[in-house]
Amino acid sequence: MPRLLREHSPLIEEFFATSRLALPVVFTNIGLVAMGLIDTLIVGQVGPASLAGVGAGSGVFFTIGIVGMGILGSLDTFVSQAFGAKEERVCDNLLIQGIWLALLLGLLLLPVIWVVGRFYGLTGATTDIVLAASPYIQTVSWSLPVFLLFIALQKYWQALGVVMPATYIVFVANVVNFFGATALARGLWGAPAMGAKGVAVATVGTRVFMAIALVGYTCWRLRRRQQKEAGRRLLWGQFRFSWRVQRQLLRLGLPAGAQSGAEVLAFTLTTILATRLGAGAAAAHHIVLTIASTTFMMPLGIGNAGAVRVGNLVGAGAHRAATRAGWMAIGLGVLVMTMSAVVLCAFPTFLFGLFTNDAVVLVQGQKIMIFAALFQIFDGTQVTSTFALRGLGDTRSAMIANIIGHYPIGLLLGFSLCFLQDRGLPGLWAGLTFGLITVATLTVLSWRQKARALVLTAERSLT
């Protein structure tokens, strides 16, 4: 083997290890977001008001749901580190406690979505948008507990390196959602025409299917393992709630939930501000945000893989390799989002044409597509560095970075440019972009500091 290749073989090995884990997770994440994309494509043919209403409703659901997903992110750290240390019983217990936590979070957050949906008109959105958004929010909220259950099970298997089952389930779910949403929104195949509410009903049913399918897979895998390990009592006979483990999960998960919530809330508040600019601007905002959210699933999947790799290697005591895994995830995130930015800049008209032919929406959208393309790179950087930190067990640094970047910088700047300087929708997106640049800078600096400390700790343990 040539000397150069021999010297860099650990890096090459890490590239393939991260890529093998990340690719199915990317497809799973794209599949999860594709449900909202399908809803948007279907409702987009009804009219700009319905399109904007579904966009606003989806934003409300994910703003609140992402908090639960962030809290469940503590499973990324604990399960991956336990698996790396070959502590299977700890992994088993974390699965049970993760299921408890997902269901409780779903029940606790459900009334919050109801309240927001009931009083959505207070945001200042125009009447036609409120009429579409409110029933969508009230209906789709029922899917939150089962959605979080699916996320908890996905994170458990993902931390163990088993990623394909969730990918297959999400693929089938999108096919189901497409036909269900089309039928209920437009009144096809004997179904009543329900518009935006019909799309929400189809989404609820699809998420129930996803949860049932992954629970079924989990039971099947655990049953097989039990048969191979005779004499060992597994899981379902030990389905007890543990305050001790829950406190550990929440201690790490609450900052992660706050970070996720702060990030998505910034985009949701921007969506609410966009509704004050009229249905055309709000619809354009939602389309660009939908495109950006879809591309975001690529670095999110890489970040998930990075968190698992870092956690596994920390659990195994391979600290230098864990640092290399984190930097690899960040580098891959930057690479794929650079390519995404090029596509968004090169084909804005084609991308918008997939959603709508409305002239006002097209004009408004093309004005802000350049900002969506610009912040792609920084969005990829911040999410991969956030998950690399999570693999180490640090969720506070990313929380602080998101609060600083999105609020005193991103939202304040966007509001000022849009309303005080009459820059309209491009002003809001300029603020979002500068906010993401700040977050990315702060999270990378935090990861660099933590990674150096990890390597120093490993070197001291050898002396």
pLDDT at 54: 75
d(CA 422, CA 277): 11
pLDDT at 229: 65
Whether 364 shows a pLDDT value over 80: the answer reads: yes
If one counts every other C-beta atom within 10 angstroms of the C-beta of residue 307, the result is 28
d(CA 355, CA 364): 13
If pLDDT is split at 50, 70 and 90, which confidence band does 187 have? low
Closest C-alpha to 111, from 70, 136, 145: 145
pLDDT at 347: 85
d(CA 144, CA 140): 8
Question: Mean pLDDT, the chain, as a whole number?
Answer: 85
d(CA 91, CA 389): 21
- Residue 285 structure tokens: 């905002």
d(CA 271, CA 173): 27
pLDDT at 5: 47
pLDDT digits (tens, 9 = 90+) for 241-263: 889 999 999 999 999 988 888 88
If pLDDT is split at 50, 70 and 90, which confidence band does 1 have? very low
SS (H, E, C) 57-70: HHHHHHHHHHHHHH
Task: Of 57-71, 188-202, 331-345, 436-450, give the lowest mean pLDDT range.
Answer: 188-202
Task: Of 43-57, 278-292, 321-335, 408-422, give the lowest mean pLDDT range.
Answer: 43-57
If pLDDT is split at 50, 70 and 90, which confidence band does 191 have? low
Dihedral through CA 444, CA 339, CA 171, CA 304, nearest 10?
Answer: -10
pLDDT digits (tens, 9 = 90+) for 145-161: 999 999 999 999 999 98
pLDDT at 373: 85
**Mean per-residue pLDDT for 433-449?**
95
Q: With beta carbons less than 8 A apart as the criterion, state whether 384 and 69 touch.
A: no
Whether 293 shows a pLDDT value over 90: the answer reads: no
Q: Is 309 exposed, middle or buried (0-12, 13-18, 19+ CB in 10 A)?
A: buried
Three-class secondary structure of residue 395 per DSSP? coil
More confident residue, 315 or 234: 315
Whether 48 shows a pLDDT value over 90: the answer reads: no
- Residue 95 structure tokens: 């699965």
pLDDT at 130: 73
Q: For the whole model, what pTM was predicted? A: 0.82
Q: Name residue, tokens 């180490």.
A: 392
If pLDDT is split at 50, 70 and 90, which confidence band does 365 have? confident
**Mean per-residue pLDDT for 27-31?**
86
Whether 177 shows a pLDDT value over 80: the answer reads: yes
If pLDDT is split at 50, 70 and 90, which confidence band does 114 have? confident
First to last CA, the chain: 31
Domain ranges (residues) in the chain: 16-462
Percent with pLDDT over 70 in the chain = 89
pLDDT digits (tens, 9 = 90+) for 334-360: 999 999 999 988 888 888 877 777 777
pLDDT digits (tens, 9 = 90+) for 268-285: 788 778 878 887 888 888
Q: With beta carbons less than 8 A apart as the criterion, state whether 213 and 174 touch.
A: no
